[in-house]
Amino acid sequence: MPLQLPIYMDHAATTPCDPRVVEAMLPYFTEKFGNSGSRNHSFGWAAEEGADYGREMAARLIGATEKEIIFTSGATEGNNLAIKGSAYMYQKAPAGAAKRGHIVSCLIEHKAVLDPCKRLQKEGFDVTFIEPPADGVVTAEMVKNALRDDTILVTIMWANNELGTINEVRQIGSLCKERGIIFHTDATQWAGKMPTDVEADNIDLLTWSAHKMYGPKGVGALYVRRHRPRVRLQALQEGGGQERGFRSGTLNISGIVGMGKACEIAMAEMEHDAIRLAKLKAKIEAGVLAQLDSCVVNGHKDKRLPHITNISFGFVEGEGLMMAVKDIACSSGSACTSASLEPSYVLKSIGVGDELAHSSLRLSLGKWTTDEQVEHTTSAVVQGVKKLRAMSPLYDMHKEGIDLSKVQWAHH
């Protein structure tokens, strides 16, 4: 079969739905359309069975019990509920007072964690955002140095969505446990890809989303620990009292069934997928680095997810790079914020300069990524960068051995 273009290399943004997931969901749109809150007829019971299945699979995936799972609309909602809901519940002083409590997070968290933390800051909480090291890995030592007597919550992601770097979650959890501090982790890029055990990993609150693991969009789950300690949250959304009052609203049964199926498949296949994808990712990195000079793979060399790579290319310009690899659907190191191209705050925070941050690509592989696609991607990136460099006077100067950092540029 001829290679189909464009090639999807953006699985960290979202994944296609597994056809087995779609198949499991379909009956819940038509014959099993009931409201799981309808207790007195079989339509309601059929829907409830669907929710029970989804809950059982979601719980099993992370080593939790069914009663510890709250279904949400995705990781953004889960993060908001975990962070704001626990901050309001464990605050040291009520709204309006100074010193409501201290929260620890990190500068390279997803916006769905940073923005709830900033909201809390405006409301009188103190937040310490840890500055990540150059390799992007947040260690227990860094968290330990940020803790205070009034710390109520630590929120550190499991794996970074731009770099794929893996933080010291188990050790951070253990530290929080010792100090009686609630520990939340945004596991959106991790869960369903890598083994997760909320007991062994010392986690109190864990967020994830179905659409990053071959499930449907618009559904996710939040784990809330019930024993040692029993974690309490203030609900952010009130109404019918579903999900034990934590999250009111009629359950998205088809989505929950789809998420459950995605979890069930992940449990059976993630190990195999991870081994295969790690090899393919290594092939891209080796191919690029062997054929191009002045490139850097961002983030820790080993402590990274198997399927994400983020590479900066010197002497090319960001927009040109995206144009040059237009057959490869991937993310750039720039984000469009209010009409201007801003370099990625994640890359900037780990010390990548503005220029290099702009000329970076995040390639993220998935379950159905083939060898052939990987080979094509590698050669498209290499050819694209070579073409741009062939037109770059800066690259010529670099090749001639001129140290560009010492050049005195004329300003007019």
Give the range of 49-57, 186-194, 226-234, 386-394 binding ligand PMP by CB under 6 A: 186-194
Identify which range of 55-63, 69-77, 258-266, 293-301 contacts ligand PMP by CB under 6 A: 69-77
Decide if residue 306 touches ligand PMP (CB under 6 A): no
Asked whether the beta carbons of 126 and 136 are under 8 A apart, the reply is no
β-pairing, 182-186 vs 308-313, is unpaired
Nearer to ligand PMP, 80 or 128 (CB): 80
Question: In this structure, are strands 205-209 and 220-224 parallel, antiparallel, or unpaired?
Answer: antiparallel
Judged by CB, which is closer to ligand PMP: 165, or 188?
188
Question: Residue 127's beta-bridge partner residues?
Answer: 103
Q: Looking at beta carbons only, is 11 or 32 nearer to ligand PMP?
A: 11
17 is catalytic: no
What is the phi/psi pair of residue 159, to 5°? -135, 140
CB nearer ligand PMP, residue 120 or residue 288: 120
3-state secondary structure of 157: coil
Q: Is 74 in the site for ligand PMP (CB under 6 A)?
A: yes
Distance from the Cα of residue 352 to its chain's centroid: 20
Using the rule CB under 6 A, is 155 a contact of ligand PMP? Answer: no
Binds ligand PMP (CB under 6 A): choice among 220, 318, 333, 343: 220
Residue 132 in the binding site for ligand PMP (CB under 6 A)? no
Contact status: 247 vs ligand PMP (CB under 6 A): no
Q: Which amino acid is at 47?
A: A
Shortest reach from residue 286's CB to ligand PMP, in Å: 26
How far is 50 from 67, CA to CA, in rounded Å?
15
| DSSP 3-state of 135 | coil
Report the distance separating Cα 189 and Cα 165, nearest Å: 10
**Which residue is listed with tokens 């780990």?**
350
Q: Who's near 33: CB < 8 A, 6+ residues apart?
A: 43, 47
Q: What is the footprint of ligand PMP within residues 156-185 (CB under 6 A)?
A: 157, 161
**Contact status: 186 vs ligand PMP (CB under 6 A):** yes
Is 83 a binder of ligand PMP (CB under 6 A)? no
**Under the criterion CB under 6 A, does residue 209 sit at the interface with ligand PMP?**
yes
Tell me how far CA of residue 163 lies from CA of 54, 285, 298, 315, 331, in angstroms.
30, 14, 7, 21, 11
Identify residues 105-124 at the interface with ligand PMP (CB under 6 A).
110, 112
Per DSSP, helices labelled H in 39-168 are 42-62, 75-90, 111-122, 140-146
Which of 17, 176, 295, 336 is labelled catalytic?
336
Stretch that binds ligand PMP, among 74-82, 137-145, 300-308, 311-319 (CB under 6 A): 74-82
Q: Does 68 bind ligand PMP (CB under 6 A)?
A: no
Please name the helix (run of DSSP H) or strand (run of DSSP E) that holds residue 313, with its range, or none.
Answer: strand 308-313
Considering only 165, 188, 254, 378, the residue that binds ligand PMP (CB under 6 A) is 188
Cis omega (within 30 of 0) for bond into 116: no
**Residue 75 touches ligand PMP, criterion: CB under 6 A:** yes
* Residue 210: DSSP 8-state: G
Active-site annotation, residues: 336
Note the residues at the interface with ligand PMP (CB under 6 A). Answer: 74-76, 110, 112, 157, 161, 186, 188-189, 209, 220
